[in-house]
Chain A
Amino acid sequence: MELINLNQSINENADFTKKIGIESGQPVQKCYQCGKCTAGCPVAFAMDYKPNQVIRMVQLGMKDELLKSNTIWICSSCSTCSTRCPCNVEVANVMEALRIMAWKSGTAPAGKAKYVEVMYDALLGTVEKYGRTFEVGLVLQNNLKSGKLFNGADMGLPMFQKGKLRLTPTKVQGAAEVARIFAEARKMEGGVK
């Protein structure tokens, strides 16, 4: 196991801890590690660092480990943690701030985390183009980029037979306005693909 000098980490990454606190709007320093967030987290079993560990790592300035973790992507944003925290730390908002930071810093997620990022991109890609989510386009794009070419392939025919598959996208009249939203957000905030 790798040794981590915590004093050094705290001192060198104080800015990171502060920034996550501000970006998430959460009092991360209040956490006293009761573990309630992890106990209730429905997806903790698939995470490399558990929710309570994530908060502790934010306090300790462990930026690199966090930005590379799969946890911040696998979190399904169900907010069970946020609802139960006795210190009123909305853990899901912290995950979100970490995810955005990871993504802006160009830290490439791997494995399961990558599949989540690819899906986000595929969905938003259809919205930027048409103004609405186009489910078929989303899945195709998702499969191409994730390399899981036949992901959901068994859904195609049954969905089509039930009339639940729209083969062509619906483009809203204001599609250009929606594209503009993406462009302006990118300009203002930086980093939105």
Chain B
Amino acid sequence: MRYAYFPGCSYHATGKEYESSTQAVAKRLGMDLVTIPDWSCCGATASHGKSHLLNIALPARNLAIAEGMGIGEVTTGCAACYQQLANANKKMKESQETRDKVNKITGKEYKGTLEVKSIVDAIGSIDPEQIKAQVVKPLSSLKIASYYGCLLVRPPKITGFDDPENPMFMDNMMKLAGAEALDWAHKTECCGASLGVSNLGIAVKMINRILKAAVEKGADCIIVACPFCHLNLDWHQKSVNKQLGTNYDIPVFYFTELLGLAMGISPDELGFKTHFTDTQKVLSLVG
């Protein structure tokens, strides 16, 4: 399956494990991720606070370039990029007026022919048997809390998910990898996103709830599908401990890292060494 691939601005910085593990897993699954040439920022979590048009036009530039690649589907790992691209795509498909206006702003013509999928959805649409066939090292001793966050599943009008309160697609993928997927309460609770930069005092309280729920369920680790969720849950675990007097030490992975681990890809290649939480614990459990 070929996709026009949007890496997103964090791909070689804070979210680099997501990029390396996505590429490694995609290769094993025979997915062809063709990077959108000269892609630019989607507006992230900022442009929607400033201007309706800017918020559509920033992702639209990328959609216009991707449309020219002649590949019908766009995919991206970052949940924020996904929502920005999907939102712009929907708005431009639905309204000729919006499309004309935005095309005028970008100076590029987007006709509205693409489909936008998150990488979770792209991998999830592969035949489960094909994924299972790649699993050489089942994660049978791991209890995993799948954390979906917000932007991947909500609002359902954009994401198209029929169950935004209790999504299961990452849980199902972890089951294919042989792990135990925990039923837990906070899988779609917000981590605070960029409040982690602007108002850490607020964000730590939000992060704390998620970590607490996962730990109380006996999770060995948490998996995410968003660089911001990862930054907040992995790096800021220490900020939570410092500010709220807690003592968390739970590893946080991108789902692609654990899928890759089950496929026998080396932990170093996947990015296990660049986390701030201790990933060794999971490796020793998997053996």
Contact = CB atoms under 8 A, between A and B. Distances in A.
A115 B46 CA distance: 12
Contacts of B53: 185, 188-189
A30 interface: no
A168 B165 CA distance: 40
A185 B53 CA distance: 6
Contacts of A45: 205
A interface, size bucket: 35 or more
A139 B101 contact: no
Contacts of B44: 123, 127, 133
Contacts of A152: 197
A83 B165 contact: yes
A192 B48 CA distance: 11
Interface string A97-109: 0011001000000
B54 A79 contact: no
A23 interface: yes
Interface stretch (A4-12, A13-21, A51-59, A175-183): A175-183
A42 B190 contact: yes
Interface in A114-137: 115-121, 123-124, 127, 131-135
B10 A127 contact: no
A124 B50 contact: yes
B215 interface: no
B284 to A, nearest CB: 21
Contacts of A73: 49
Contacts of A76: 150, 190, 192-195, 206
A135 B150 CA distance: 22
Nearest to B192: A76
Contacts of A100: 49-52
A165 to B, nearest CB: 7
B259 to A, nearest CB: 21
A139 B195 CA distance: 13
Contact of A139 (B164, B189, B197): B197
A182 B154 contact: no
A120 B44 CA distance: 9
Contact of A135 (B13, B47, B164): B13
Contacts of B31: none
Contact of B195 (A43, A142, A174): A43
A80 interface: yes
B281 interface: no
Contacts of B57: 181, 184-185
A158 interface: yes
Given A99-B49, A139-B197, A178 B58 contact: yes
Contacts of A119: 46, 194, 197-198
Nearest to B58: A181
Contact of A185 (B51, B156, B200, B205): B51
Contacts of A116: 49, 194-195, 198-199
A28 interface: no
B40 interface: yes
B39 interface: yes
B267 interface: no
A177 B48 contact: no
Contacts of A79: 150, 154-155
A191 B197 contact: no
A159 B50 contact: no
A131 B51 contact: no
A177 B205 CA distance: 40
Interface stretch (B104-112, B135-143, B169-177): B104-112
Interface string B201-215: 010011001000000
A151 B203 CA distance: 14
Given A43-B206, A178-B58, A185-B53, A142 B198 contact: yes
Interface of A: 23, 42-43, 45-46, 73-74, 76-80, 82-83, 90, 92, 96, 99-100, 103, 112, 115-121, 123-124, 127, 131-135, 138-139, 142, 146, 151-152, 155, 158-159, 162-166, 170, 172-175, 177-178, 180-182, 184-185, 188-189, 191-193
19 contacts: A43-B195, A45-B205, A78-B151, A79-B154, A80-B190, A90-B155, A90-B157, A96-B49, A100-B52, A103-B49, A116-B194, A123-B45, A133-B44, A135-B10, A138-B197, A164-B16, A178-B58, A181-B57, A189-B53
